Structures are given as structure tokens and as C-alpha cells.
Structure 1
Amino acid sequence: MLRSFSYLFLLGSIISATAVGQTRCPIGVQAGNIQCIPDDPQAEVNAAPRPTGEWIKTWGAIASSENGDIGSSTGKFSKKDAEAEAIKICADFGNSDCKVNMTYKNQCVAVVQAAKGRTGGKIITAETADIAKRTALRKCQDDSGAQCFVRGTDCTEPFFRKF
């Protein structure tokens, strides 16, 4: 009788026992140690990742003169700086009539020209240099009815400034 009572008591203890606040610990480490982690990952509150810097968009510009000389700038932090450099580069060819044709920010540009003696040159911006080039060539050929060629492509790349 005592033996069956002992089994019954042991069985009742096992069934009604619950484990509260268990943690997973490496072998040989006691509960409560910093190396132990809670079983419930939902209980943890994760902090949002902190940015290590910021992306700054850059400017580019295209300037040209009446004789067809072109000045191009890219990677400038302001529209004004991009325009000034494009005009300076155009003027460095000896031109005094350089004017800004286009400014662009955080994208690519393609400059195409129609065959000599034809009008229809284009300056087109797009998300990649290849798309800008293909679009500009197609529009130039449609407008001029002549063969067009690429004078240049460029892209403004964002700059990462660390905090």
C-alpha cells in the first residue's frame, strides 16, 4: 500500500508541476547568468537599428555654347555649384556664350547630337546612363531623321556622410 501511495504521489507531482521562467543556458552555466537567454523571444524588446550616416543627393549640369562645345559637371552638393562648374568647363574651350542647358539631381544624363548640319540633338535624364542614352538616341533620330551619336553620358552618385 505504501508503495502504490508513493507511485501515486510521484505521478501526481510530475503531472501538476509547471516550469516558470525557464531560461536557456549553456552547459555548466547557472540560471540568472548573463549568458542565459529567455525562452520567449517575443519578450525581448529590440531597439531599432541606429543609422551610421546619411545619403546626400548630388547635382550635375550640362552647359553648351553656340558652336557646340559642351561643359559637364557632376557630383556637386548644390545646383548652383553644378551650373557654375559646367559653365566654367564650357568656357575653358574659349567660349564666352556658354549657357546651362540642363541640371539634374541623383540621376544620369546623356547628350546626343544629330549628324553634322542637322538639328535634333537631345539631352535626356533617366535612372541609368544606358536608359538615358537609348532614349536620347531614339528621340534624336525621330526628330532629325538622321543618324545621331552620343557626345557623353554621366551620372550623379549619392554621397554617404557618416555621423
Structure 2
Amino acid sequence: MKPIALSLIAMLGFAGPAAAHFPFAVPSGGHFEWVLFNAWGRAPPAEVIYPEPPPVAPRDWLTQWGAIAVDEGSRSVGTSTQVASQSEAELEALQLCAREGGGGCKIVLVYRDQCGVLARGGDVYASARGPDVPGASDLALEQCTRSAADCEIAYTDCAYPVPVY
């Protein structure tokens, strides 16, 4: 008797929760299902799948700026994007243009919370801004082809506002 009692105690108390589960038939919807209960009368926790939380709307948006600088003499171009202020965007574009060898760099486009495009055909530059690259590209190419025949897009980028949560 003692060996049986000791083995039962070992199984229930000392072997851990995984060894202490017993199957029982439980009525469910007119039929019986086998359910595992542990030694303390509770079913093991089922896997819980939580739905994805709904997206949270941002409480604010941070404006972003971009700029394009060109030196037509040396054909140097400098650009900036996703910058916090207009003055920072212009300064960065001018510095990058000068680093590319431009001695007479000038800002040709500043854009805020939208896209900027630069088209080039020969020695002609044209720029445009818009809500997306295809629309701004069409405008820049249209403007460029008024003065040059071989226009193509030289630069595109977007400075979209950044959400703040």
C-alpha cells in the first residue's frame, strides 16, 4: 500500500504540472468530449489568440522639407530630403552641390510634404513638385521639353510628413 501511495503522491505533487493531468469525459453540446484536467481540477490554459489592435491615428504630423540646388555651369546638383525646416533643406542642398564641384549653386526647387523632381536635357534644367513622383515628373518633363529635346528625369524624391504618436 505504501508504494502505491508514494507513487501517487510523487505523480501529483512532485512530478510537476505536466505529469499531473488526467483525462475526463465532459458533456458538451449533447455528446461527451475528453478534456484534460490537472490534479487541482483546472483545465490547462488554452492557446489564446488576440486580434490585432486597430491602428492608432497619429496625434500630429511633422512637416518635412526637401530642396534641389543646381550649378548649370559645372552641371553639379545637390539635394536634400526629409529635413525639419526649409532653411536646413536649402543649406544641405547647396552644400552638397558645392561638394560636387559647383561654384555657383542656386536653389531651383524647395518642396514641403510632397515630392520634388529634377529633369535635365542638355544644359537645360527643369524642376517641379507635386503630391507624387509621376505627377511631378510629368510637369518637369513638360517644362524641360519646351527648351530641349532630350529631356530625362535626373532626380526624384519625396519628403512626406512624419506621424507623431
TM over 0.5: yes
2:100 is the counterpart of 1:93: yes
Shift of 1:52: 5.1
Please name the residue that 1:71 is paired with: 78
| Alignment partner of 1:136 is 2:151 | no
Are 2:58 and 2:163, in contact at CA under 8 Å, matched by a contact in 1?
A: no
Aligned residue pairs total 109
CA contact under 8 A between 2:76 and 2:101: conserved in structure 1? no
Asked if 1:147 corresponds to 2:150, the answer is yes
Q: Give the 3-state SS of the residue equivalent to 2:103 in structure 1.
A: coil
State the partner residue of 1:56. Answer: 62
Q: Give the drift of 1:151.
A: 0.5
- 1:84 CA displacement: 0.8
Deviations 1:103-140 (A, max 9, x none): 111111110011x35x4x31011110111111211221
* Worse-superposed segment, 82-91 or 94-103: 94-103
Q: Cα gap change, 1:52/1:78 in structure 2, threshold over 3 Å: closer, same or farther?
A: same
Q: Which structure features the higher share of strand residues?
A: 2
Gaps of 5+ in 2: 1-55
Residues 83-104 of structure 1: per-residue CA shift (max 9 Å, x gap) = 0110111111132322211211
Kindly report structure 1 stretches of 4+ aligned residues shifted beyond 3 Å: none
Cα deviation, 1:13-49, whole Å, max 9, x if unaligned, reads xxxxxxxxxxxxxxxxxxxxxxxxxxxxxxxxxxxxx
**1:158 equivalenced with 2:161 (yes/no):** yes
**What is the deviation of 1:145?**
4.9
2:105 maps to a residue whose letter is C
RMSD: 1.8
Q: For the structure 1 residues 106 and 62, does the alpha-carbon distance in structure 2 shift closer, same or farther, using more than 3 Å as the test? A: same
Paired residue for 1:10?
none
Q: What secondary structure sits across from 1:144 in the alignment?
A: coil
Other-structure match for 1:8: none
Who is 2:5 aligned against? none
1:103 is the counterpart of 2:110: yes
| Whole-angstrom distance in 2 between the partners of 1:70 and 1:145 | 19
